[in-house]
Amino acid sequence: MVMTKEMMKIIEENRAYFATATTDGVPNVVPIGNIKPLDNKTVLVADNYMIKTHANLKANPKVAFVMHDAAKYPYQFKGTVKIHKSGDYYDQVIKWIKETAPLAPKPKAAIVINIEEVFSVKVGDAGKKLV
């Protein structure tokens, strides 16, 4: 197990800030609204609007994210991404967005994150590896 039930609930109920980088290290951070855990080691993100983020992930599949209110939910999640433009994960994203945001554009892809590490971002405890 990588993520606890508490961590999974926090991800499902909140927005996140998603950090990527180009292959030469240029960082990019974007807010993500459509994010949810699939199980205790996998997170699904709907790619509705990503441009730089999508390009970064194709070239460099590493990602880190924190929740919108990191002071309240002090976790940093890190992992490796796979992009799905068809198949089961993509179908799940299409259905999910139709149900939760019917006016949103059709997602371009399903971003599946394999969570590999979780760190604390809590003041006084920042950088401590939790998983």
Q: Which of 62, 45, 61 is nearest to 108 (CA)?
A: 45
Helix H segments across 21-107?
52-59, 88-100
pLDDT for position 25: 92
pLDDT for position 60: 96
User: Residue 103's CB: how many other CB atoms inside 10 A?
Assistant: 5
Structural domain boundaries in the chain: 5-120
Paired residues of 29 in beta bridges: 19
Q: Are 8 and 70 in contact (CB under 8 A)?
A: no
- First vs last Cα of the chain: how many Å apart? 9
Measured CA to CA, the distance from residue 59 to residue 56 in angstroms comes to 5
Paired residues of 37 in beta bridges: 43
Region 5-120: CATH code: 2.30.110.10
pLDDT 10s digits, 10-64: 999 999 999 999 999 999 999 999 999 999 999 999 999 899 999 999 999 999 9
Burial call 9-36: b when 16+ CB within 10 Å, e when fewer:
ebbeeeebebbbbeeeeeebebebebbb
pLDDT for position 2: 87
Half-sphere exposure of 66 (CA within 13 A, CB side): 16
